[in-house]
């Protein structure tokens, strides 16, 4: 058993500060596959992932123990749980003994490779570099970047609504629409977007207006279907990297992480950017395949009368009854998802 495997189920409370000027937040600290995961205790939403090999203790021997995700990192974590502190130090020792010791030649090769990528960033089209980076980012890192983007979005929209029965109903709706495999995560927020948006890591954010002012879940289901179709039409990581910039993209490609603050302001940009237009056949196919009428979604579209008319006139279930989306009690729970 490795040192990491030994502590896989260990959790403890902690105090996390994203930046020196920020207030400390209560978090739940747990081990991921290669990282330390800091989660919101109320929503279970991961707030930050810290690479275990890069982890450092800022006050050796002091209590509460103060950790950071790297030498120059702005984030800090305070822990007073002795078991968690001991576990982190043990894992650090185990990782240190297994870490390769690069010599001068290896360091030269790494520097040369980095300069080569920087050269590509200058002479290769930036768009091509961003698309290449998005294509090679692994699923776990995409999910981590999606969480970073979500943290910036919820500065404006408010935290995802957390009523337990409503969250359960959303999860069931997602499985009903997309099937049990690779089911997107559906979240509801109080303020915007209008009516939905999607993020890397298969996350779809829905406005509470899709539940409050509707007679059934068809409009919310339609918004989720359209956002999933948009995410398939254009990789959602691409606009994130375009916002982060070329230097941040190169760092992600060469070092595996985006710089702290790279996604600051992404929430405003995304909420104010018109959504990607989809071909009518693509939208209608999404509704037909999922067994969802398109009329309810068409009625909530603002500023896109052509799409609304097309969806109403060509509703695949205009003359037929589609399968039920959810029981009545689940719909009532969904309507109350933001009541807490």
Q: Answer whether 280's CB lies under 8 Å from 308's CB.
A: no
Q: How many Cα atoms are found within 13 Å in the side-chain-facing hemisphere of 10?
A: 19
Characterise 158 by phi-psi region: left (phi > 0), alpha (psi -120 to 50), beta (else): left
Give Cβ neighbours of residue 264 (< 8 Å, ≥ 6 apart): 152
Predicted local confidence at residue 2, as pLDDT: 47
SS (H, E, C) 89-101: HHHHHHHHHHCCC
Tell me the C-alpha distance between 230 and 286, whole Å: 11
**CA distance readout (Å), 228 to 135, 274, 281:** 18, 16, 15
Tell me the C-alpha distance between 67 and 91, whole Å: 14
- Tell me: the pLDDT tens digits for 142-181? 889 998 999 999 999 988 888 888 888 999 999 999 988 7
Predicted local confidence at residue 224, as pLDDT: 96
The reply to whether the predicted model has a pTM over 0.75 is no
- Nearest C-alpha neighbor of 249 from the set 121, 149, 151: 121
Residue 194, SS3? coil
Q: Answer whether 294's CB lies under 8 Å from 312's CB.
A: yes
Extract the tokens encoding 11.
């959790």
Predicted local confidence at residue 319, as pLDDT: 87
- Nearest C-alpha neighbor of 300 from the set 223, 189, 193, 190: 223
- What domains appear along the chain, each with residue ranges and CATH number? 3-98 (2.30.29.30), 140-335 (no CATH)
Tell me the C-alpha distance between 233 and 182, whole Å: 17
| Residues forming a β-bridge with 66 | 78
- Tell me: the pLDDT tens digits for 208-232? 999 887 889 999 999 999 999 999 9
Q: What is the pLDDT along the chain (340 residues), one digit of tens a residue?
A: 344 555 556 788 999 998 888 888 999 998 765 678 888 888 878 788 787 777 888 888 888 999 988 777 788 999 998 888 888 887 777 655 544 444 444 555 455 555 555 555 444 457 888 888 899 898 888 889 998 999 999 999 988 888 888 888 999 999 999 988 778 999 999 887 889 999 998 999 999 999 887 889 999 999 999 999 999 999 999 999 999 998 898 889 888 899 989 999 999 999 999 899 999 899 999 999 999 999 999 998 876 678 889 999 999 998 888 889 999 999 999 999 888 6
> Which own/partner pairs from 122-128 qualify as long-range (CB within 8 Å, at least 24 positions apart)?
126/246, 126/249
């Amino acid at each position: 058993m490795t040192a990491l495997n030994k502590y896989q189920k260990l959790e403890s409370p902690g105090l996390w500060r994203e930046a020196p000027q920020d207030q400390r937040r209560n978090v739940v600290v747990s081990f991921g596959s290669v990282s330390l995961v800091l989660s919101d205790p109320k929503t279970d939403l991961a707030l930050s992932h810290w690479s275990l090999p890069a982890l450092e203790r800022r006050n050796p021997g002091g209590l509460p123990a103060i950790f950071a995700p790297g030498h120059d990192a702005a984030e800090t974590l305070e822990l007073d749980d002795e078991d968690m502190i001991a576990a982190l130090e043990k894992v650090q020792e185990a990782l240190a003994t297994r870490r390769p010791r690069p010599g001068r030649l290896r360091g030269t090769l790494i520097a040369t490779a980095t300069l080569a990528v920087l050269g590509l960033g200058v002479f290769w089209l930036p768009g091509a570099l961003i698309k290449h980076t998005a294509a090679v980012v692994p699923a776990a890192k995409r999910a981590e970047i999606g969480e970073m983007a979500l943290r910036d979005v919820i500065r404006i929209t408010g935290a995802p609504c957390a009523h337990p029965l409503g969250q359960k109903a959303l999860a069931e709706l997602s499985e009903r629409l997309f099937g049990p495999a690779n089911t997107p995560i559906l979240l509801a927020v109080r303020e915007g977007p209008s009516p939905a948006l999607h993020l890397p890591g298969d996350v779809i954010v829905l406005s509470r207006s899709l539940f409050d002012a509707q007679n059934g879940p068809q409009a919310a289901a339609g918004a989720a279907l359209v956002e999933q179709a948009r995410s398939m039409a254009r990789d959602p990581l691409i606009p994130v990297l375009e916002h982060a910039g070329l230097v941040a993209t190169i760092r992600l490609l060469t070092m595996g992480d985006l710089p702290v603050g790279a996604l600051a302001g992404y929430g405003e940009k995304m909420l104010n950017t018109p959504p990607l237009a989809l071909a009518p056949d693509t939208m209608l196919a999404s509704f037909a395949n999922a067994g969802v009428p398109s009329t309810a979604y068409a009625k909530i579209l603002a500023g896109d009368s052509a799409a609304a008319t097309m969806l109403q006139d060509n509703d695949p279930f205009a003359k037929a009854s589609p399968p039920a989306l959810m029981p009545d009690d689940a719909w009532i729970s969904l309507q109350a998802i933001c009541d807490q």
